Structures are given as C-alpha cells and as structure tokens.
Amino acid sequence: MGLGSTRRTVLITGAAGFLGSHLAERLLDEGYEVVGLDNLMTGDLANLRGVERDPHFHLEIGDVRDRLPVYAEIIFNFACPASPIHYQSDPHATLTTSMLGAMRLLEHARTRKVRIVHASTSEVYGDPLEHPQKETYWGHVNPVGERACYDEGKRVAETILMDARRLHGADTRLVRIFNTYGPRMALNDGRVVSNFIRQVIEDEPITVYGDGSQSRSFCYVSDLVDGIVKMGMLPQAEHPIVNLGNPRELTMHELAETVMKVADKRVEVVRRPLPSDDPRRRCPDITLARKMLGFEPRVPLEDGVAATYRDFQERLGQVPPKAANSKRRLVAAVG
C-alpha cells in the first residue's frame, strides 16, 4: 500500500458481523491500523478469531448510535442487522442504527477530514420496476411494511450522508450491496443461501418461498470486499453511489440445485408462501463499478457455495476443522 512507517487508522462499525469481519481481515492485510466497533446485537466475536491477536486490530464494544470512541481517517459503516429475521426482531433498533448512526458519523467527521464509506443495500430499490437496477433508479419501496425498518432506514441514511456531501463537502461514499454470501454467515439468519445450505447439511427439506422463479444475484464475500476497499481508497469518488454485487441472475430453484450438487446429495424441496414485500427480481447493473473501480466478481458460484458449505459443516460439527480450513483457502484462492 506504500504506507511507509505510518499506518492509517480505519474504523469499521459492525466489525464482528459477517461482512465487517472479512473487511477487517482485508484491511489488516493492506497495512492499516483497524479499530472495530460492535454492540454485538447480531455480531459474533467468533468471527474475529482470525484478527483478535493481531496487534494492529483493536475492538471496542459500543454502539454507532453513541458518540464514537476513536478518531479514524476512514470509517466503514457496517453497523446494522441485514437479514429479515434479525432486522425485524427489533424494528426500532434497526431504524435508529441506520438513521442515528449516520448522524453520529457526520458529527465525528464534522471538524476533521474523515472519509465515510457507508454500507447501503439493494433493498433501497425495493421490489424494483427497473431491471437490472442502476444507481439512478429511485426504487419501489413500501414505507410502512414489515421490511420498512431496514429499507427506509437505509434510504434515510443515504439522504443524511448525501446532504452532508452537497452542503458541507463531506467525503461520503455509498455502496449499495446486493446479495452476498460466504463463510461466517449466521447459521440462523434466514437468508436463502444459509437456509439452503443448513437444510441440506441437516437432511431437511429445502424451503422455497413462492414458486421458486423469483431471482437474485449472489456475490461471494471476497469479491464484494474487494469492491468495498477499492471504493474506500479512491482519492476522489466522482460518483459517490455505486452498486456492488454479481450481475449473474439465477432463480431460487437454480440455487437449490447448485447447493445439492455441491453437497452431492438430494433432499425434498417444499414450497411456502412468499413473504410480504419480497422482491420478485433483484440484479445489479455494475457498469459504474466496472468503470470506476475495475470491479468484477470472479469467484464462480459453485466454488463459493462449496466454501460456504464447508464452513457451515465445520460450525455444525460435521467436518474436522483442519480439513475445512485447508479447503476453504483453496477455494478462496480461485477468486
């Protein structure tokens, strides 16, 4: 990174989460001093086992809604529950984490030259009427539905951060993250990749909601983190809002088949009613990320699912840890 003897300090809020912990590892590898902040609402200290003994990593137990405990030159804001089961369990905490968290970050940055990279979400597009979704699309969101605490919370955070950019020249950057998966996903987060993998490992029926024709696009975590880091390290961000995800679109049935192929076994597939406000299609237009960041997802779906599957097997006690770790490194190297 060309830091010489001086390490720049970055703060990651939500550092004990799935994405935050992977980002912490990457930034330590890049030569940064990393401070992690997490209130452990959904974060897990086990996610930080790979960095907890690194002398350049420092963990603070705290809440982004409170005054931040440390100065950092760059802040990566990943503090918010991201799965429907988690963010709907306490809607008020979800909404205020997005809204007040953004305000606290700006208070921290007001008198200092601080760059803020905010983890927004494809959920700001809602159940989209435009396909694939470009950054210029305003979205189709239910403001009073069960998902609104997350969807509208993220939209309000975007408003706060973009107003600060326009009015005060704040260096705020938004990454709209599409479906991402990989090792360390919560076993019980209720999202489709973790659901399918856990169900197949435990020889349960795969639960497909709706008719299974609804589509998503899945990005492996190392690819996503690469885009996040590139967005954060740009000297100037001409376009402060960028989609990050994999533009390869597939149906829920296709994902189920992929998981069973990786597992080399078949289970029953059962259908359940589609949840309220669940989008029918979701796929990013990443033209801007390709042009501005050189971003390109590289890990093939089967390789990424295989790495995630082995991680779940290990955590569910169904594979020796040494075998799981060696195989996971091999697959990650493909990306």
DSSP 219-279: EEHHHHHHHHHHHHH-S--SS-EEEES---EEEHHHHHHHHHHHHT----EEEEPPPTT--
**Which pLDDT score, from 0 to 100, does residue 204 have?**
95
In the three-class reduction of DSSP (H, G, I as helix; E, B as strand; rest coil), residue 174 is classed as strand
**Which pLDDT score, from 0 to 100, does residue 66 have?**
92
Please say whether the dihedral angle defined by the alpha carbons of residues 257, 86, 94 and 221, taken in this order, is positive or negative: negative
The set of catalytic residues is 150
Q: Longest Cα pair distance anywhere in the chain, in angstroms?
A: 58
**Which pLDDT score, from 0 to 100, does residue 293 have?**
97
Tell me the helix, strand and coil percentages in the chain, rounded to 5: 40, 20, 40
Q: Smallest Cα–Cα separation from 14: which of 110, 91, 84, 118?
A: 118
The domain made up of 9-334 has a fold known as: Rossmann fold (3.40.50)
**Which pLDDT score, from 0 to 100, does residue 321 have?**
53
Q: Tokens in use for 327?
A: 């195989």
Q: Tokens in use for 194?
A: 């973790």
The partner residues of 13 in beta bridges, in order of sequence, read 37, 77
C-alpha span between 310 and 237 (Å, rounded): 37
Is residue 191 within 8 A of residue 182, CB to CB? The reply is: no
Helix axes 192-201, 301-315, angle to 10 degrees: 60
Output the CA–CA distances (angstroms, integers) from residue 284 to 135, 218, 278, in the order listed. Answer: 9, 10, 17
Helix (H) or strand (E) holding 211: none
**Which pLDDT score, from 0 to 100, does residue 331 have?**
39
The number of CA neighbours under 13 Å toward the Cβ of 236 is 2
Helix axes 221-233, 18-29, angle to 10 degrees: 60
**Which pLDDT score, from 0 to 100, does residue 202 have?**
95
**Which pLDDT score, from 0 to 100, does residue 320 have?**
52
Go through 60-99 and write b for each residue having 16 or more CB atoms within 10 A of its CB, e for each that does not: eebbbbeebeeebebbbbbbbbbbbebbbeeeebbbbbbb
Instruction: Report the first-to-last Cα separation within the chain, whole angstroms.
Output: 20
Going residue by residue through the chain, which has 335 residues, state the pLDDT in tens, using 9 for 90 and above.
433 447 899 999 999 999 999 999 999 999 999 999 999 999 999 999 999 999 999 999 999 999 888 889 999 999 998 877 888 888 998 999 999 999 999 988 877 789 999 999 999 999 999 999 999 999 999 999 999 999 999 999 999 999 999 999 999 999 999 999 999 999 988 889 999 999 999 999 999 988 888 889 999 999 999 999 999 999 999 999 999 999 999 999 999 999 999 999 999 999 988 777 677 888 999 999 999 999 999 999 999 999 999 999 999 987 655 544 444 343 333 33
335 contact partners, CB below 8 Å, separation of at least 6: 220, 222, 223, 298, 299, 303, 304
